[in-house]
Chain A
Amino acid sequence: DTGVSQDPRHKITKRGQNVTFRCDPISEHNRLYWYRQTLGQGPEFLTYFQNEAQLEKSRLLSDRFSAERPKGSFSTLEIQRTEQGDSAMYLCASSPGQGWNTEAFFGQGTRLTVV
């Protein structure tokens, strides 16, 4: 088990472009979470999946953001028409889903810079 994997690790894009990030959770983890972390702040929840179903979306997740988890395995987070305010670290985490004392395992994140 290699842990939660995120790709790419870094992304620099021009304002107005679309970007897509990928997250591969630990195999057989039912739950997958996306968080955004800006400098000097803690991670802020964006959305999460139970298998392929998207169960909750934060109000932080504007219409320009969309997330998918086809087949309940990997997940993608797409940001359309990027803005400078989207610059942040995007973290993915997964957990087994059974029991709410379970640990969430985090990936190393994708750092997005919008110029």
Chain B
Amino acid sequence: AQTVTQSQPEMSVQEAETVTLSCTYDTSESDYYLFWYKQPPSRQMILVIRQEAYKQQNATENRFSVNFQKAAKSFSLKISDSQLGDAAMYFCAYRGEGNTPLVFGKGTRLSVIA
């Protein structure tokens, strides 16, 4: 079974600075998708960014980018120019072949300090 590990329960960053959230995963599949979801307090989870495993180029969405290392099974999220609104729980998630349900990590709580 696939597993997703987020080793940082909590992180903090100064406003306007850059922070990197870590994620590793375990799978025997060769083709899959990886996602980062954001869950603000008392609000619904929303997609931040996604990465296709067969694409070597790292995905980027405005201030959010990933560092995808397939051989190392690592998928970190970098948030640049952090804003107060970035404060939330961030979940790394894996979707395997055949459109299987998402498998989530335990999350990282990000605080942004003004």
**Are A103 and B50 CB-contacts (below 8 A) given A40-B106, A43-B104?**
yes
Asked whether, in the complex, the Cβ of A42 is within 8 Å of the Cβ of B44, the reply is no
Task: List residues of A whose CB falls within 8 A of some B CB.
Answer: 3-4, 31, 33, 35, 40-45, 48, 56, 91, 93, 97, 99-104, 106-109
In whole angstroms, how far apart are the Cα atoms of A8 and B70 in the complex? Answer: 41
Give a binary string over B35-55; 1 marks a CB under 8 Å from any A CB, 0 the rest: 101000011111100101000
Q: How far is the CA of A42 from the CA of B50 in the complex (A)?
A: 18
Report, as a range, how many residues of chain B touch the other chain: 20 to 34
Q: Looking at the complex, which one of A31, A35, A99, A108 makes contact with B44 (CB distance below 8 Å)?
A: A108
How many pairs, one residue from A and one from B, have CB atoms within 8 Å of each other in the complex? Answer: 57
- Select A43's contact among B50, B91, B100, beta carbons within 8 Å: B91
What is the bound-complex CA distance between A44 and B52, given in angstroms?
A: 22
A48 to B44, CA, bound (A): 19
Q: Given A100-B95, A101-B50, does the pair A45, B103 have CB atoms closer than 8 Å?
A: yes
